[in-house]
Amino acid sequence: MVSPICGPKLSAYCSILSVWGIVMLGLLGLFFQIRSPTLIEDIPLENWNGTYSEAVEKFEQTAMNCWIAAGIYVVLFIFSFVQQRMHSRASYEMS
């Protein structure tokens, strides 16, 4: 039997944090993908020559970065969920 790496409180905290990160970064990626004008200040504009096509490319790249980060949070959620299940199984076997 494999023992858990994280404690029960840490795995619960990481699960909650992961869900929040998935929701927040998923929505942020969506808003970058639809090119929300409010987020123009958050795209990297170094060496920008002022063309619309380059701004669209920067928005899409930033949206992809948000979705990659959301994917990392999905992996963290799966890991912490497995840790929680291991703790609940261990406490069930103890009683």
Domain boundaries, the chain: 8-36+52-94
pLDDT value at position 61? Answer: 93
Q: What is the pLDDT of residue 35?
A: 93
Confidence class of residue 1 from pLDDT cuts 50, 70 and 90?
low
Residue 89, pLDDT score: 74
* DSSP per-residue letters across 28-58: HHHHHHTT-GGGGGGS--TT----HHHHHHH
Q: Which DSSP letter does residue 85 get?
A: H
CB 66 within 8 A of CB 29: yes
Global pTM value = 0.83
10 Å CB burial of residue 28 (0-12, 13-18, 19+) is buried
In this predicted model, what pLDDT tens digit does every residue of 47-88 receive, in sequence order?
777 788 888 899 999 999 999 999 999 999 999 999 998 887
> Mean pLDDT in the chain?
88
- Token pair in block for residue 16: 């909650």
